[in-house]
């Protein structure tokens, strides 16, 4: 990955040295903090093993035994290994540490059955999953115990992760988002390290045989469906090192097609469990990831597309022509909100467009106020779905509106945004990231269209804090519930971000999806970031949303706040609990 749009191995090595290396003083403070914890939960680590190379198995077990948090048990299930050294290593380790428990299966049942065998000897209130050849850093279980103390009702905890090669060099860090239900359906965001409340696993039904290769993914989805989102917590620290490149392929690497099939069956089962209709297929650009398409109802709802404009007939004609001719969703109306256009070409265009029954010209004869114009348009809309559109947007994907409406109809969904591109193909909007480059900015801004982004974040649907009003779809009752756009405090800038945050505040989730449209930003009306108006509106946003802007849950605090392109933060904005004593 290029340094311009991602993290290089050398950059990560420097970052580890500066920000992710425990000192003796750190370890001493962690031990003091552990002593002060009011609740010291027993954490059961589940480790199925089968013919693991001896040195890798020893190193995996050693990484558990070296945990600074001492209240754990390691539950190892030997899945009828054919190599005698596996039992020798396990028995020697168990003899050296009574916290290590062993069970040997008489028959090889593969990873789901072996994991369930390990679970059968677990007694902890919380269960962590660990592969037989991976490593966890010394402070991994400490972080988990701290979260359990801070959030006593937590059901699922997951952390960041990276990979480690045969030479012990760490690489490919995955700095994850906070709980992200939409991204989770594209790939297993939780993965490692994930810890579950054991009673939740009992409710969800443990591991299912027949889902090998994606058994963790399947378990995560069923566990998520059995709890609520407020009981899912992300730890923004790398607490798991995934072995790669040491000579032996994992099951998921050796049997990729089978694993992908298991994952897609698990996702389909999850949709059924949630009562959501849709299809699951391979992602068109990354075949080992997944794409869920929600079904539209038999009679799709009427969508009212609101387009504020003042002259610029050439832009408006291209925009409306694209909507009328190149959109496969048929049940929509277009309300052109005319804010005092004066040019003869615009008047002639209005006359031509009005010949189509789907188009209405709605005059708005007041001074420019983006929020007020759209609020006015919403009162004239006949549809149950509103679409806010700039007059400089042009359709690329014919299915853009079908996709956005199908997501907007989800009961938990709020505002839906799209992937917008400049005319040269670079990304203009990949979702809004808060507190970056000022009040807010756009994910993956200026990323080339063909780039997938950091762990697919430029091509994978994702929950986000906000989306741009240049192309925003929302159910009309939600828009009305939050009283529309703020035309008093935010007549020009940030009104879309504020709208999304108020929608989020009501308990809905905002979703960005990578259907594509062109957006010739500022071609019709630019924003002067030095004007008194802009500065006033930015100040209002900081005053109104200071706590939210401080840390976007969908952008890792290990990533730079200078932009939304997923560069490493130096220093990161993460807190180290042991420094707060």
Question: How much is the pLDDT for 527?
Answer: 58
pLDDT (mean) for 541-546: 94
Residue 279 has pLDDT above 60, yes or no: yes
| Predicted pLDDT at 250 | 53
Are 208 and 352 within one domain? Answer: no
Residue 523 has pLDDT above 50, yes or no: no
Query: Residue 4: is its pLDDT beyond 60?
Result: no
Identify whether 188 is part of a domain: yes
Q: Are residues 213 and 325 in the same domain?
A: no
Q: Is the pTM of this model over 0.85?
A: yes
Residue 2 has a pLDDT of: 38
Q: What is the pLDDT of residue 524?
A: 42
**Final residue of a domain: which of 201, 233, 248?**
248
Share of the chain above pLDDT 70, in %: 96
Return the pLDDT at 254: 55
Tens digit of pLDDT for each residue in 68-116? Answer: 999 999 999 999 999 999 999 999 999 999 999 999 999 998 999 999 9
Least confident window among 252-256, 360-364, 374-378, 429-433: 252-256
pLDDT value, residue 564: 86
Choose one of 248, 268, 286: the last residue of a domain: 248
Paired tokens of 510: 């905002």
**DSSP 3-state assignment of 337?**
strand
488 inside domain: yes
Looking at residue 522, its pLDDT comes to: 56
Regarding whether 352 and 213 lie in a shared domain, the answer is no
Q: How far apart are CA 558 and CA 161, in angstroms?
A: 12
Q: Are residues 83 and 175 in the same domain?
A: yes
Which element (helix H / strand E) includes 474?
Answer: strand 471-475
Among 248, 282, 312, where does a domain finish? Answer: 248
pLDDT over 50 at 412, yes or no: yes
pLDDT score recorded for residue 562: 86
End-to-end Cα distance, the chain: 39
The mean pLDDT of 328-354, rounded to a whole number, is 95
Place of tokens 């049940």: 331
- Mean per-residue pLDDT, 408-424: 96
Mean of all residue pLDDT scores within the chain: 93
Calculate mean pLDDT across residues 515-534.
74
Residues 240 and 314 in one domain: no
| Average pLDDT, integer, range 109-131 | 96
Print the domain residue range for 166: 3-248
Residue 438 lies in a domain: no
Report d(CA 157, CA 233) in Å as an integer: 5
Whether the predicted pLDDT of 540 surpasses 50: yes
Residues 352-367 have a mean pLDDT of: 94
pLDDT for res 521: 66
Residues 241 and 334 in one domain: no
My answer on whether 334 and 227 are in the same domain is: no
Residue 581: band (very low, low, confident or very high) from pLDDT cuts 50, 70, 90: confident
Residue 559 placed within a domain: no
Give the CATH number, domain containing residue 470: 3.90.550.10
Task: Give the pair of three-digit tokens for residue 220.
Answer: 């995560």
504 domain residue, yes or no: yes
Residue 176 belongs to some domain of the structure? yes
Write out pLDDT tens, residues 134-171.
999 999 999 999 999 999 999 999 999 999 998 899 99
Q: Same domain, yes or no, for 14 and 81?
A: yes
- Residue range 22-30: average pLDDT? 97
**Contacts (Cβ under 8 Å, ≥6 apart) of 14:** none
Can you tell me the distance from the alpha carbon of 186 to that of 181, in angstroms, rounded to the nearest whole number?
9
* Statement: residue 58 has pLDDT above 60: yes
With 70 as the cut, is the pLDDT of residue 249 above it?
no
Helices (H), 1-124: 9-19, 24-36, 54-65, 84-96, 110-120
pLDDT number for residue 534: 86
d(CA 124, CA 202): 13
- Structurally, the chain folds into a number of domains equal to 2
pLDDT for 253 equals 56
Residues 338 and 226 in one domain: no
Which stretch of DSSP H or E encloses residue 434? strand 432-434
Report if residue 581 sits inside a domain. Answer: no
Give the mean model confidence (pLDDT) for residues 241-269: 80
Examine residue 497 and state whether it is found in any structural domain, yes or no. yes
What mean pLDDT comes out for the span 300-312?
A: 96
For residues 423 and 505, membership in a common domain is answered with yes
Q: What pLDDT does 452 receive? A: 95
Q: Is the pLDDT of residue 5 over 60?
A: no
What is the pLDDT averaged over residues 214-221?
Answer: 96
Distances from the Cα of 333 to the Cαs of 136, 220, 323, 386, in angstroms? Answer: 56, 41, 10, 10
What's the pLDDT score for residue 3? 40
The per-residue pLDDT for 1 is 39
- Statement to judge: residues 166 and 307 lie in one domain: no
Point out the least confidently predicted range of 198-212, 214-228, 234-248, 325-339: 234-248
Identify whether 571 is preceded by a cis peptide bond (ω within 30 of 0).
Answer: yes
State whether 232 and 338 are in the same domain: no
């Amino acid at each position: 990955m290029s340094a311009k749009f991602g993290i290089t191995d050398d950059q990560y090595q420097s970052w580890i040295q500066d920000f992710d290396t425990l000192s003796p003083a750190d370890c001493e403070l962690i031990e003091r903090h552990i002593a002060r914890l009011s609740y010291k939960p027993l954490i059961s680590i589940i480790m199925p093993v089968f013919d693991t190379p001896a040195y890798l198995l020893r190193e995996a077990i050693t990484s558990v035994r070296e945990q600074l948090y001492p209240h754990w048990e390691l539950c190892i299930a030997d899945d009828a290994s054919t190599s005698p050294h596996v039992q020798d290593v396990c028995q020697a380790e168990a003899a050296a540490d009574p916290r290590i428990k062993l069970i040997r299966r008489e028959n090889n049942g593969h990873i789901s059955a072996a994991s369930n065998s390990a679970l059968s000897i677990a007694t902890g209130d919380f269960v962590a999953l660990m592969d037989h050849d991976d490593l966890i850093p010394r402070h991994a279980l400490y972080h988990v115990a701290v979260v359990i103390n801070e959030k006593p009702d937590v059901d699922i905890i997951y952390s960041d992760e990276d990979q480690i090669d045969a030479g012990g060099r760490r690489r490919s860090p995955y700095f994850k988002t906070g709980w992200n239900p939409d991204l989770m359906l594209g790939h297993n965001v939780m993965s490692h390290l994930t810890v579950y409340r054991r009673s939740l696993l009992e409710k969800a039904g443990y591991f299912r045989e027949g889902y090998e290769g994606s058994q963790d993914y399947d378990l995560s989805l069923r566990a998520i469906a059995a709890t609520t989102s407020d009981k899912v917590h992300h730890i923004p620290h790398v607490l798991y090192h995934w072995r790669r490149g040491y000579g032996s392929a994992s099951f998921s690497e050796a049997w990729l097609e089978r694993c992908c099939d298991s994952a897609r069956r698990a996702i389909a089962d999850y949709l059924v469990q949630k009562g959501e209709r849709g299809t699951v297929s391979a992602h068109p650009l990354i075949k080992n990831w997944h794409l869920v398409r929600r079904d539209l109802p038999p009679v799709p709802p009427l969508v009212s597309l609101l387009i504020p404009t003042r002259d610029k007939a050439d832009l408006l004609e291209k925009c409306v022509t694209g909507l009328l001719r190149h959109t496969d969703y048929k049940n929509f109306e277009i309300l052109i909100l005319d804010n005092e256009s004066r040019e003869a070409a615009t008047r002639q265009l209005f006359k031509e467009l009005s010949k189509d029954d789907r188009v209405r010209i709605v005059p708005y004869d007041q001074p420019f106020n983006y929020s007020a114009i759209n609020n006015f348009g919403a009162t004239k809309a006949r549809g149950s779905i509103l679409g806010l559109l700039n007059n400089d947007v042009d359709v690329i994907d014919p299915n853009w509106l079908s996709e956005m409406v199908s997501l907007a109809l989800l009961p938990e969904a709020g505002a839906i945004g799209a992937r917008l591109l400049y005319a040269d193909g670079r990304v203009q909007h990949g979702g809004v990231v808060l507190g970056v480059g000022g009040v807010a900015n756009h994910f993956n801004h200026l990323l080339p269209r063909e780039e997938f982004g950091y762990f697919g974040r430029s091509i994978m649907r994702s929950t986000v804090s906000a989306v741009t009003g240049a192309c925003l779809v929302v159910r009309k009752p939600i828009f009305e519930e939050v009283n529309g756009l703020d035309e008093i405090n935010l007549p020009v800038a940030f009104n879309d971000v504020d709208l999304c945050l108020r929608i989020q505040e009501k308990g809905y989730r905002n979703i960005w999806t990578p259907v594509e449209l062109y957006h010739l930003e500022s071609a019709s009306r630019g924003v002067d970031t030095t004007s008194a108006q802009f500065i006033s509106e930015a100040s209002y946003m900081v005053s109104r949303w200071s706590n939210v802007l401080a840390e976007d849950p969908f952008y890792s605090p290990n990533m730079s706040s200078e932009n939304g392109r997923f560069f490493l933060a130096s220093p990161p904005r993460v807190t180290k609990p042991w420094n707060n004593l």
